[in-house]
């Protein structure tokens, strides 16, 4: 099986609790968060 990777822009913002939220606007419903920017981006890459 060959895996295909795609690149999408990710919007980052900090919520009221201080967590970093990562949203992929081009993929409806693709939202994740993390304690840091790196963690949020890592989680977004797993989706």
User: Predicted confidence band at 1 (pLDDT cuts at 50, 70, 90)?
Assistant: confident
> Is residue 6 assigned to a domain?
no
pLDDT at 41: 95
Give how many domains the chain has, as a whole number. 1
Q: What is the dihedral of CA 36, 46, 24, 33, to 10 degrees?
A: -30
Angle (CA) 28 30 35, round 5°: 150
pLDDT at 44: 92
Listed in order, strand segments (DSSP E) in 1-47 are 11-14, 20-23, 31-34
Domain of 41, in residue numbers: 11-46
Segment 17-44 mean pLDDT: 96
> Is residue 18 assigned to a domain?
yes
Model confidence, pTM: 0.83
> Is residue 31 assigned to a domain?
yes
User: Predicted confidence band at 46 (pLDDT cuts at 50, 70, 90)?
Assistant: confident
pLDDT at 3: 81
């Amino acid at each position: 099986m060959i895996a295909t990777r795609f690149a999408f822009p990710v919007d980052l913002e900090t919520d009221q609790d201080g967590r970093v939220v990562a949203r992929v606007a081009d993929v409806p419903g693709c939202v994740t968060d993390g304690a840091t920017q790196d963690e949020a981006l890592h989680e977004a890459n797993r989706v």
